[in-house]
Structure 1
């Protein structure tokens, strides 16, 4: 196996180096540093611009609570996932979905119960909402509900046009925690004079959140990312994982490759990267100085049995990746086993860099595409979590986990709702003879949110619809005044 990897790496250096002369986007300076021009934006065809504007204008305006209830009516497994912590049968079964939707609204919007609770309405009494949140909301129930939403969206034709669901992007959102909390850390760049934490979350290429982890402060250690991937809410493990520049290391490259996952981080600091080679005598032309690192395969061979034990322990969930690699370091210095995993990872880190700078920019464009998609998801999350200036007021980690778990579930509700209605809009346009091109349909975004209301009075009532029916689509040619609510 290692011999095959050595041949693959040697061939990649020779092929990519030979194509550099025909690659106007890459320059190798005298010190061997690689400089890459940013990915150029692809001009959007008029057909895509018109299709996006038309389908967005067709989305019915809806308040967030009604949207959550509507999605729960489509996917009854969401409400069924919320079971009492006692393990017994729910006594609040008749109107429990309304109380669950109210709790999701209060905590995802970060506004608390005051604007949500309604005196005299049993499902919305403040004491009832507090009871439901404390007894029904926990990571296990939120995970089950999320898995049901992901599965439902996967059945929508438009979502299938966006991707196969086996590509994942992992990135962190920063939240200020202005009260004393054990897990909050200072970082003036992100939190000013206050403290905060990071919500490290994973999203698939269809826009659905698959899992998350609360991380203290703004810790850079990318091994938390491996734990997020192996703690996904249902479904298959991704085949490809994309992350930002600050979330990768040689150890992560090694672990993910051994776990059967292709790792493709963004490379904003490319000139500072060093390539690694196995053959010290090989001549790689313009990439010779770049490939100045030496991979010692003897380290990998000596520790191979222990490497497999570590990987199997992570795969089966016996240990967390973060914990096991922390134990493989002594006072910040890697042990022989940790260094052997990193050596193995350097093979695939070098292959990733070579493919990233190659003349065909499809590879790096795909990386940038899903990174942009996740930024759009985080933008939607900021719109939803607007209360208290987006700051979180929990002293304990479990409180943060449950609130951000509710935010992640609501984000998936919004994404599923938008996917279903965009798909309906496309079907209507096709029936009317509008030319919908497959390549334009694949570039629509599930995170449009101009139709979504998150401010004001919150009501919990479904429209009077026949079973299986959805709301009427708006007329894309109608004026704003005609469609105002």
Structure 2
């Protein structure tokens, strides 16, 4: 580089003329194939920053994202002043635009309607705003009605301001930001806005956010209630089945006996009648004797009993008992969900017409469906059963309608109009009109330019996949892959030698040598090195000067991260004010703040030479993720039943991401019934400090569509399959073509190129939506997967993912080191889950909060504590290494340390300290004389 720039070692920067600086900068950019920061690129960067500002990200996050964007686009990094100016201007432009819109569009009567939310209504001590803030997490009928009433109130306000919402055009992130402020604020704080337009902006955002959120809540209640009712019906049928099993057996035996007797009588009578050798009187006499014998045989079987047995078997064979049981359960379910269904707003354009018509009829008639409601959504058999022979079975109709609505919502055939989680898939994607108009620019902003031409990109993948088949089969055929075997049916098996990985061992021993360390000391030590508590800022720093002290922040982290609870921790702690602690947690413990604090700890881990010694390759970071089931000890709409994990209780899944340096860089809490695969991309994209090059999960984190998404965000997906040989391989040519080449490992199916190319533009739009944070990957994948095989985009995503999956499986067969790395990395995340249980120890490790937001904040605090312990362990072991003077001893120690895990916690006291100092004599708590003298009655 010195030669290319004509620079000598004796170069004097004081004599570096500005013209030469510009010349050298231009040459450096050319050599590195970067573009200069010119007017065109400045506009592109400003556009990217504007998108982030609209999402109300914090300025420092936008700054980092802008620099990352420049690196990916190979654009010269602007100066700090240039970037900060653009960021400041973007935030001011966004807010000014919103306030100007309100100034011109909001009428005086509408302003008054907003301010009514802050006033105390008649006959109620709580202002209307306070009444609609809290969501009741119970599924009891009276508690459900509270949520319905709140949703009605919000609907009335939402309808009044719908045109204003259209003018503001706030995205989801910005809406949530302003709404969260109102949610946390007291009535006085909301009233104290010096600018009334800002107050109205916050209140409007609260109304919109809460209405969307409440629609989701009502749908959650509806789905859970219908499922509970259906499970109750099935349980009753199973109990009835068990109870009547012997009775049916007796019925079958009795009816069979009666049938044999009748058949024998008929056969004998037929034989006698057809006998020509006897007179009529002789034949009649024999027939009468046969009848007498038959009546004697049938004497033990009463006619009434035979009829009862026949009816019992008729019910069993026709399924009538199922519908009777369903009908009996209907009234109870109606009391819970009729009002819920009446207040859900469905989207006609994206919903199936027959069911939409039936549901609309139910809403319009206020649940009084009459005797001829729409029946077309039901199968013909059920239509006949509901119509009945003489009377329309209204209760049965309603519960069948409820079940049909629930099934259709889960399948994406019935969608809500105003919702975060139950809209049609197209509503989550970048709008079609904008995509068609700005496709190329959006692909550039999303870093997806190389995928623009689907046909040429598939051609590249075909070449790569074909060469991989050739290489893997060549090594196997030559006997150079002794860990792979293929049986006669083509089933492949691999064996993987174990690694020397030790979960604790040497590191645990070293860490315990200095005694047991209180968790509070660990947090204090790490805060002194990283100052992570500075990120616990007030939600609205422009309007509040609260800066919590360090001890209060640490108390909040421990109260939630250890699952002790804020109330209890303040009561058992010295030096903590309960009111101050609650206020700090309310305003400063946002998920973004905790994640920012986590990021600075991870940044400290990244700076340590010892942490990087755990990375197999310096230019390739391997990460993994896994879930841990956790019970929820309170009412929670977010929790779900799973007998396998929780018995009769409910719970959720803590889903955690970790890299090979043992840094936990992302966490979320999902329903225990959700598939983990939908959340993999969120974890890889929603962090700012870890760029995963390879990511591993177990089977629960795998889907073929995830292979597509990880490929397009430049992360190699490397899951662990329980039975790798059962995974189908795909190729661009037919199976026979590969067999003719003498290959042992051949694809079982051919890639459907037409399907991929036909939907290629939708695939790009789908990925651009994720990368530009228009919607989260979990939102898209959860909604899209509910369509199952019916949606062409989902089929195309899976088909493209099969190419990438096949490439991975072939590499997995051939690369024993890769298999070892995957196993080792998944061992780390499994160890991290046990570590999680040790930190989250209180209240029997059961969540004591019911909402998803509260559970995620508690989980983020727990992860912060885990990372703090990991960093403390690194610092302690690094100090031991630096204190070891002999190079050979140091090398031996380093090898011993890196063969184990830094995740160790036996040396950390999570549960506080006990004071056994002798109390003074006058410190007695109980007055025994008074207690013993107490007379009752």
TM-score strictly above 0.5? yes
Matched, 1:68 2:523: yes
Q: Aligned match of 1:355 in 811, 836, 844?
A: 811
Instruction: Kindly indicate whether the alpha-carbon contact (under 8 Å) linking 2:504 and 2:900 is maintained by their aligned counterparts in 1.
Output: no
Instruction: Kindly indicate whether the alpha-carbon contact (under 8 Å) linking 1:119 and 1:125 is maintained by their aligned counterparts in 2.
Output: no
Matched, 1:33 2:487: no
The structure-2 alpha-carbon separation of the partners of 1:430 and 1:255, relative to structure 1 and needing over 3 Å to count, comes to: same
Match of 1:98 in 2: 551
Instruction: Kindly indicate whether the alpha-carbon contact (under 8 Å) linking 1:186 and 1:195 is maintained by their aligned counterparts in 2.
Output: yes
Q: Secondary structure at the match of 1:364?
A: helix
1:423 CA displacement: 0.8
Match of 2:577 in 1: 125
The structure-2 alpha-carbon separation of the partners of 1:208 and 1:90, relative to structure 1 and needing over 3 Å to count, comes to: farther
1:2 CA displacement: 1.7
Match of 2:598 in 1: 146
Q: Aligned match of 2:829 in 339, 349, 374?
A: 374
Instruction: Kindly indicate whether the alpha-carbon contact (under 8 Å) linking 1:207 and 1:415 is maintained by their aligned counterparts in 2.
Output: yes
Q: Secondary structure at the match of 2:634?
A: coil
1:221-240 pair list within 5 angstroms: 221-232=676-687, 234-240=688-694
- Cα distance in structure 1, aligned partners of 2:572 and 2:912: 18
Match of 1:416 in 2: 871
Higher fraction of strand: 1
Q: Secondary structure at the match of 1:434?
A: helix
Q: Secondary structure at the match of 2:905?
A: coil
| Structure 2: runs of 5+ lacking an equivalent | 1-456, 916-937
Q: Secondary structure at the match of 1:215?
A: strand
Matched, 1:246 2:700: yes
1:107-118 pair list within 5 angstroms: 107-113=560-566, 116-117=569-570
1:62 CA displacement: 0.8
The structure-2 alpha-carbon separation of the partners of 1:287 and 1:59, relative to structure 1 and needing over 3 Å to count, comes to: farther
1:401 CA displacement: 1.1
1:54 CA displacement: 5.9
Higher fraction of helix: 2
The structure-2 alpha-carbon separation of the partners of 1:198 and 1:153, relative to structure 1 and needing over 3 Å to count, comes to: same
Matched, 1:323 2:779: yes
- Cα distance in structure 1, aligned partners of 2:797 and 2:708: 6
Q: Aligned match of 1:387 in 842, 845, 849?
A: 842
Q: CA RMSD in A?
A: 2.6
Instruction: Kindly indicate whether the alpha-carbon contact (under 8 Å) linking 2:561 and 2:865 is maintained by their aligned counterparts in 1.
Output: yes
Name whichever of 407-416 and 213-222 sits farther off: 213-222
The structure-2 alpha-carbon separation of the partners of 1:44 and 1:242, relative to structure 1 and needing over 3 Å to count, comes to: closer
Match of 1:197 in 2: 652
Match of 1:181 in 2: 636
Instruction: Kindly indicate whether the alpha-carbon contact (under 8 Å) linking 1:65 and 1:458 is maintained by their aligned counterparts in 2.
Output: no
1:400 CA displacement: 0.6
Instruction: Kindly indicate whether the alpha-carbon contact (under 8 Å) linking 1:13 and 1:287 is maintained by their aligned counterparts in 2.
Output: no
Matched, 1:134 2:601: no
The structure-2 alpha-carbon separation of the partners of 1:327 and 1:245, relative to structure 1 and needing over 3 Å to count, comes to: closer
1:215 CA displacement: 0.8
Instruction: Kindly indicate whether the alpha-carbon contact (under 8 Å) linking 1:186 and 1:217 is maintained by their aligned counterparts in 2.
Output: yes
- Cα distance in structure 2, aligned partners of 1:330 and 1:155: 43
1:111 CA displacement: 2.0
1:121 CA displacement: 4.8
The structure-2 alpha-carbon separation of the partners of 1:286 and 1:268, relative to structure 1 and needing over 3 Å to count, comes to: farther
- Cα distance in structure 1, aligned partners of 2:461 and 2:518: 54
| Structure 1: runs of 5+ lacking an equivalent | 460-485
CA shift digits 1:109-133 (9 cap, x unpaired): 21234664368955x1223222222
Q: Aligned match of 2:469 in 13, 32, 40?
A: 13
CA shift digits 1:229-273 (9 cap, x unpaired): 2112x2253121111122111110011101211111111132321
Q: Aligned residue pairs: how many?
A: 449
- Cα distance in structure 2, aligned partners of 1:428 and 1:299: 62
1:196 CA displacement: 0.7
CA shift digits 1:165-201 (9 cap, x unpaired): 8322111121111332101111111112211111112
Larger Rg: 2
Q: Aligned match of 1:400 in 843, 855, 875?
A: 855
Match of 1:470 in 2: none
- Cα distance in structure 1, aligned partners of 2:493 and 2:724: 7
Q: Secondary structure at the match of 2:551?
A: helix
Match of 1:428 in 2: 883
Q: Aligned match of 1:170 in 625, 641, 654?
A: 625
1:33 CA displacement: 2.2
The structure-2 alpha-carbon separation of the partners of 1:399 and 1:325, relative to structure 1 and needing over 3 Å to count, comes to: closer
The structure-2 alpha-carbon separation of the partners of 1:285 and 1:273, relative to structure 1 and needing over 3 Å to count, comes to: farther
Q: Secondary structure at the match of 2:656?
A: strand
- Cα distance in structure 2, aligned partners of 1:70 and 1:52: 20
Q: Aligned match of 2:800 in 334, 338, 344?
A: 344
Higher relative contact order (CA 8 A, sep 6+): 1
Match of 1:291 in 2: 747
TM-score, normalised via structure 1 length: 0.85
CA shift digits 1:254-298 (9 cap, x unpaired): 11101211111111132321111111122264645x521211222
Instruction: Kindly indicate whether the alpha-carbon contact (under 8 Å) linking 2:606 and 2:612 is maintained by their aligned counterparts in 1.
Output: yes
- Cα distance in structure 2, aligned partners of 1:191 and 1:365: 33
The structure-2 alpha-carbon separation of the partners of 1:335 and 1:98, relative to structure 1 and needing over 3 Å to count, comes to: same
